[in-house]
Amino acid sequence: MKVTIFGTGYVGLVTGTCLADMGHHVMCVDIDEQKITNLRNGVIPIYEPGLESLVKTNVANGQLCFTASAEEGVAHAEIQFIAVGTPPDEDGSADLKYVLAVARSIASHMQSHKVIVNKSTVPVGTADKVSALVSQVLAARSSTLGFDVVSNPEFLKEGAAVNDCMKPDRIVIGSQSAHAISVMKELYAPFNRNHDRMIVMDVRSSELTKYAANCMLATKISFMNEMANLAERLGADIEQVRLGIGSDPRIGYHFIYPGCGYGGSCFPKDVQALIQTADSIGFDSAILKAVETINERQKSVLVNRVQQHFGADLHGKTFALWGLSFKPNTDDMREAPARVVMEALWLAGAKVQAFDPEAMEETQRIYGQRADLVLCGTKEAALKDADALIICTEWKNFRAPDFDSLKQTLRHAVIFDGRNLYDPDVVRRYGFTYYAIGRGD
């Protein structure tokens, strides 16, 4: 089948590439001409394992192409995906300007029936807004062309996006049009071979499914962080508690890792957007507000610990910081806990020597040159002359450090671990003061 995808960001590029790899003819459209030129040359704007080679292969074999021309994109296929960003507005609600601009563009250029698929994470009711806009533009053109608007949320995880896209847990399709449903079934048939993963529902339920999924996951994390804070104060070890509750299949082991807060481009934004949606219809979403408050608080836990140990004024102190991205296997620093930690350290007068396996360029881009930030080439270099080590991201490479040399290099044998990477007994045996999350001192 032929498919057009508007937006070559994370979602659009991964989805388009995977559809192409399954044999569809995919055209990706973006208004950023430089990005299009780069993509044609196999230069990928994001770090995502496996994506670059898949893009290159599918471009080379003619399954995948890129254009900056919306007109060309609209003409290419009946199926038109909208996969552009929905950044948060000032009040936290999702800003639909890019989604609606694409809808307008499709409506202005279309010369035949279109199935318009919302892949972006959009508030409940957006498909209706897209429909109304397309109808309005077509009416202004005196056109009687038909179209369907389908909701098809994505559930990709950064760092595992290609795999998630190729082997989805579920494919949610929100539509009540028999034609659109059959088109979507044919499109996703290659991903749906061994057992049926397709769940067809009405558009609004599909739109809410996306938010409900992310908000549920964020809730699990904030719940565990709350338990961690309690455990710490009650003399319990959250890691034991985690195993104890995860063994109940109704709870499960997934996504109950306490830490220094969740970040990324999805959870913080989606929780805020659903709070806004609830507020806008006069409903007080007490759970989601608590989830957000707890997460904000959690991002400060490490620095609070640092200040309890070294005092509120950190002038003259230097901290080694391992892990800048919001999670491993990505260079994405959006809403990353490390940013809150770093900025609070600076505010208190400290200097930071940071290392991350992938996010160094991104850190440089965000913070530029500053006297109180040194970006180090290795995790060992970050330790040199530092007063203590702070860990914000659980990269594999941080899991088994040489504790002896770590102790020799740091000025004080103190570790603040925001991801519970080590066995407290082992680290303490090496002579460290070890602060983790929910594990006592």
Catalytic residues: 266
Query: What is the CA 116 to chain-centroid distance, rounded?
Result: 24
Which position among 9, 263, 323, 357 is part of the footprint of ligand UGA (CB under 6 A)? 263
Residue the block writes with tokens 């950044």: 87
Q: Does 151 bind ligand UGA (CB under 6 A)?
A: no
Backbone phi, psi, residue 251, to 5°:
-100, -55
Per rule CB under 6 A, count of chain residues that contact ligand UGA: 20
In the complex, the smallest distance separating the C-beta of residue 225 from ligand UGA, rounded to whole angstroms, is 8
Q: Does 417 bind ligand UGA (CB under 6 A)?
A: no
148 or 394: CB nearest ligand UGA: 394
Q: Does 262 bind ligand UGA (CB under 6 A)?
A: yes
- Single out the segment in contact with ligand UGA by CB under 6 A; choices: 193-201, 259-267, 310-318, 370-378: 259-267
Dihedral angle, C-alpha 322, 323, 329, 335, nearest 10 °: 180
Residue the block writes with tokens 């003619």: 62
In the complex, the smallest distance separating the C-beta of residue 334 from ligand UGA, rounded to whole angstroms, is 9
In the complex, the smallest distance separating the C-beta of residue 431 from ligand UGA, rounded to whole angstroms, is 29
Residue the block writes with tokens 């490479």: 397
Q: Does 147 bind ligand UGA (CB under 6 A)?
A: no
- Single out the segment in contact with ligand UGA by CB under 6 A; choices: 144-152, 181-189, 255-263, 408-416: 255-263
Residues whose CB falls within 8 Å of the CB of residue 345, separated by 6 or more in sequence, listed in order: 303, 306, 314, 319, 352
Q: Does 257 bind ligand UGA (CB under 6 A)?
A: yes
What pairing do the DSSP bridges indicate for beta strands 64-67 and 25-29? parallel
- Binding residues among 350-389 for ligand UGA as defined by CB under 6 A: none
CB 161 within 8 A of CB 21: no
Q: Residue 63 in 3-state DSSP?
A: coil
- Single out the segment in contact with ligand UGA by CB under 6 A; choices: 135-143, 178-186, 251-259, 338-346: 251-259
Residue type, 397: N
In the complex, the smallest distance separating the C-beta of residue 50 from ligand UGA, rounded to whole angstroms, is 15
Longest CA–CA separation in the chain, Å: 78
Which position among 2, 141, 157, 399 is part of the footprint of ligand UGA (CB under 6 A)? 157
CB 36 within 8 A of CB 199: no
338 or 413: CB nearest ligand UGA: 338
- The 217-236 site mask, x for binding ligand UGA (CB under 6 A), equals x---x---------------
In the complex, the smallest distance separating the C-beta of residue 83 from ligand UGA, rounded to whole angstroms, is 11
Which position among 158, 239, 356, 362 is part of the footprint of ligand UGA (CB under 6 A)? 158
What is d(CA 209, CA 172) in angstroms, rounded to the nearest whole number?
A: 8
CB 119 within 8 A of CB 152: yes
CB 119 within 8 A of CB 199: no
157 or 233: CB nearest ligand UGA: 157
Q: Does 339 bind ligand UGA (CB under 6 A)?
A: no
What is d(CA 298, CA 227) in angstroms, rounded to the nearest whole number?
A: 12
Three-state SS sequence of 60-94: HCCCEEEECCHHHHHHHCCEEEECCCCCECCCCCE
In the complex, the smallest distance separating the C-beta of residue 220 from ligand UGA, rounded to whole angstroms, is 7
Q: How many CB atoms lie within 10 A of CB 269?
A: 21
What is d(CA 340, CA 144) in angstroms, rounded to the nearest whole number?
A: 53
Residue type, 182: S
Alpha helix stretches (DSSP H) within 189-265? 203-234, 238-246
Which position among 66, 98, 267, 435 is part of the footprint of ligand UGA (CB under 6 A)? 267
In the complex, the smallest distance separating the C-beta of residue 330 from ligand UGA, rounded to whole angstroms, is 7
255 or 403: CB nearest ligand UGA: 255
Q: Does 255 bind ligand UGA (CB under 6 A)?
A: yes
Instruction: Give strand pairing partners of 352.
Output: 319, 373
- Single out the segment in contact with ligand UGA by CB under 6 A; choices: 75-83, 110-118, 153-161, 230-238: 153-161
Sign of CA dihedral 230, 233, 236, 237: positive
What is d(CA 108, CA 240) in angstroms, rounded to the nearest whole number?
A: 59
Q: Does 264 bind ligand UGA (CB under 6 A)?
A: yes
- Binding residues among 115-144 for ligand UGA as defined by CB under 6 A: 121
Which position among 13, 102, 266, 338 is part of the footprint of ligand UGA (CB under 6 A)? 266
Following DSSP, what letter does each residue of 288-335 receive, concatenated?
HHHHHHHHHHHTTHHHHHHHHHH-S--TT-EEEEE--SSSTT----TT
Which position among 326, 395, 434, 435 is part of the footprint of ligand UGA (CB under 6 A)? 326
In the complex, the smallest distance separating the C-beta of residue 254 from ligand UGA, rounded to whole angstroms, is 7
Residues that bind ligand UGA (CB under 6 A): 121, 154-158, 214, 217, 221, 255-257, 259, 262-264, 266-267, 326-327
